[in-house]
C-alpha cells in the first residue's frame, strides 16, 4: 500500500502552491513507487474510494494556513494523519526559502517544497 500525501488546495496563497509542489515531488517524481496523492475535495463529497484510501494508508498532510483544510478533511473522512506539516512553520526554520506568489512560487518556494519533501522522507516515508 502506498503512502498518501495530501496538500491543501491553497488557491489563494503561495504556501498552498508550495504544499502542492511538495506533494508532486513525492508522488510524481523519484518516490512515486512509495507515495501517491488523491484529490482533497473528494473527501468533502464523501467519495467512498477516497475515504477507503485514507482509512487504509499512512497519510501525510501539508497545509498552507492555520485553517488546516487537508488535516481537517482527512479527519472528516475518519482518517488520522501520521504527520501534519504546516508550510509556514517549515519556512520558519529556513527563512531564506520564502515563496514568491501563488502564480510562481519562485526559487525560494521550490526550495521550501524540497524541505517539506525531505521532512516527509525522513519521517519514514522511505524504508
9 binds another protein (CB under 8 A): yes
Under rule CB under 8 A, which residues in 61-120 are in contact with another protein? Answer: 67-70, 72-73, 76, 102-103
CB of 80 to another protein, least distance (A): 16
Judged by CB under 8 A, which stretch of 36-44, 78-86, 87-95, 106-114 contacts another protein? 36-44
What DSSP designation does 95 have?
Answer: T
28 binds another protein (CB under 8 A): yes
For residues 39 and 50, the answer to whether their CB atoms sit within 8 Å is yes
Report the alpha-carbon distance of residue 112 to residue 54 in Å, rounded: 26
47 binds another protein (CB under 8 A): yes
Give the number of residues in contact with another protein, rule: CB under 8 A: 34
Judged by CB under 8 A, which stretch of 28-36, 80-88, 105-113, 115-123 contacts another protein? 28-36
Q: Of the two residues 20 and 97, which places its CB atom closer to another protein in the complex?
A: 20
Cell of 31: 518516490
- Report angle CA 122, 56, 123 to the nearest 5 degrees: 5
Instruction: Transcribe 9-59 into DSSP letters.
Output: --SS-HHHHHHHHHHHHHHTSTTTTTEE---GGGGTTT-HHHHHHHHHS-E
Cell of 51: 475515504
32 binds another protein (CB under 8 A): yes
Q: Of the two residues 27 and 117, which places its CB atom closer to another protein in the complex?
A: 27
Amino acid at each position: 500500500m502506498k503512502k498518501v500525501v495530501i496538500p491543501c488546495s491553497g488557491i489563494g496563497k503561495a504556501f498552498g502552491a508550495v504544499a502542492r509542489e511538495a506533494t508532486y515531488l513525492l508522488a510524481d517524481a523519484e518516490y512515486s513507487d512509495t507515495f501517491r496523492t488523491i484529490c482533497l475535495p473528494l473527501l468533502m463529497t464523501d467519495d467512498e474510494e477516497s475515504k477507503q484510501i485514507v482509512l487504509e494508508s499512512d497519510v501525510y498532510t501539508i497545509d498552507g494556513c492555520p485553517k488546516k483544510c487537508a488535516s481537517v478533511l482527512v479527519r472528516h473522512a475518519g482518517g488520522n494523519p501520521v504527520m501534519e506539516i504546516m508550510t509556514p512553520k517549515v519556512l520558519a526554520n529556513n527563512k531564506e526559502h520564502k515563496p514568491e506568489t501563488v502564480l510562481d512560487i519562485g526559487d525560494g518556494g521550490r526550495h521550501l517544497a524540497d524541505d517539506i519533501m525531505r521532512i516527509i522522507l525522513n519521517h519514514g516515508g522511505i524504508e
